[in-house]
A and B are shown apart, each in its own frame.
Chain A
Amino acid sequence: MSTGENRGLASLVNVAGLRLLLWLVLGAWFYAHILQNPYLIGEGHDWTYFTHHLIASYRTYVDYHQLPVWNPYFCGGIPGIGNVQSMAGSPTMIFPILFGALPGWRLSMLVMLVLGMEGAYQYAWHNGARSLGAIVAATCFAMSGRFVQLLYDGQPVFLGFELAPWLFVGFERGFRDLRWSVLGGLAMSVVFLEGGAVATPILTVSLAILFIVSTFSMVVTRSRDPAWWSPLRSLLVMTAVTIGTSAFRLLPVGAALLAFPRTWEGGESYTAAAVFDMLFTQNASPGYSGPGSAYVGIFCLLAAAYAVAQHDRRSLFLVAMGFLCFDLAMGEQSWLHLYAAVKHLPILQNIRNPFRFVVCTALFVSVAAGKGLWLLEERLLRWMQHPALDRLAMRFRISEPWTTRIVASAVTILIAVPAYFIASQNLKYNRDRVDRLPLHAVGLSMDRPFRQSIGNRWLAHVWPAVNLGSIACFEEQPFFTSPALRGDLPQEEYLADPSAGTVTRVAWSPTRIDLDVWLVKPATVIVNQNYHRGWIANHGSVRSIDGLLAVSVPKGRYRLVIRFVDRLVVAGGVVSVVTTSGLLGIWGVGVYRKRRRRREPGAAPGVVPASRRGERLGTHRSGPSDAGPERPSPRSSDEV
Chain B
Amino acid sequence: MEPIAPLWPDANEEAAPPPAAASLSHRILWWLRLASLALPLVFFAWKAARVVRVAGPGSLSWDARSGTADLGLDTSRRRALFEELASHDAGWKKANARFEDDWSRHDDFHALMSQHIVAQSRTLGMNPTVLCLIYDEAVHAGWVSAKGVKFDARWVPLKPRTR
- Verify A476–B59 contact, CB threshold 8 A: no
CB distance from B99 to the nearest CB of A (A): 14
The interface-forming segment of A58-66, A199-207, A619-627 is A619-627
Of B11, B35, B107, B158, which is within 8 A of A478 by CB? B158
**Count of A residues near B, CB < 8 Å?**
116
Given A16-B33, A263-B161, A444-B58: A313 touches B4 (CB 8 Å cut-off): yes
Given A226-B8, A441-B127, A462-B129: A39 touches B36 (CB 8 Å cut-off): no
Bound form: Cα–Cα A445–B127 in Å = 11
CB distance from A223 to the nearest CB of B (A): 7
Chain A residues positioned under 8 Å from B33 (CB to CB) = 15-17, 625, 628
The interface-forming segment of B49-57, B75-83, B86-94 is B49-57
Chain A residues positioned under 8 Å from B26 (CB to CB) = 628-629
- Could you mark each residue 23-56 of chain B with 1 if its beta carbon is under 8 Å from any beta carbon of chain A, else 0? 1001001101101111110011001101110111
- Verify A107–B39 contact, CB threshold 8 A: no
CB distance from A434 to the nearest CB of B (A): 15
What is the interface of chain A mostly: helix, strand, loop, or mixed?
loop
Bound form: Cα–Cα A471–B137 in Å = 15
- Verify A631–B159 contact, CB threshold 8 A: no
Bound form: Cα–Cα A261–B160 in Å = 8
CB distance from A492 to the nearest CB of B (A): 11
Of B37, B114, B139, which is within 8 A of A454 by CB? B139
CB distance from A28 to the nearest CB of B (A): 5
CB distance from B85 to the nearest CB of A (A): 12
- A468 interface residue, CB < 8 Å from B? yes
Given A458-B110, A459-B114, A459-B132: A446 touches B61 (CB 8 Å cut-off): yes
**Count of B residues near A, CB < 8 Å?**
80
Bound form: Cα–Cα A106–B50 in Å = 12
- Verify A223–B21 contact, CB threshold 8 A: no
Chain B residues positioned under 8 Å from A632 (CB to CB) = 17-18
- Verify B153–A28 contact, CB threshold 8 A: no
- Verify A617–B11 contact, CB threshold 8 A: yes
Of A106, A454, A481, A628, which is within 8 A of B51 by CB? A106
Given A221-B7, A456-B110: A103 touches B51 (CB 8 Å cut-off): yes
Chain B residues positioned under 8 Å from A449 (CB to CB) = 62
Of B19, B69, B132, which is within 8 A of A598 by CB? B19
- A312 interface residue, CB < 8 Å from B? yes
Extra pairs beyond A226-B8, A488-B139 (6, CB < 8 Å): A17-B39, A443-B127, A457-B110, A459-B117, A481-B158, A483-B156
Pairs across A and B, CB under 8 Å, 17 listed = A17-B36, A38-B54, A39-B56, A76-B155, A100-B52, A103-B51, A107-B48, A262-B161, A314-B5, A444-B59, A454-B154, A458-B110, A482-B157, A487-B136, A605-B20, A622-B14, A622-B15
Which residue numbers of B lie inside 8 Å of A, CB to CB?
4-23, 26, 29-30, 32-33, 35-40, 43-44, 47-48, 50-52, 54-62, 69, 106-107, 110-111, 113-115, 117-118, 127-130, 132-133, 136-137, 139-140, 151-163
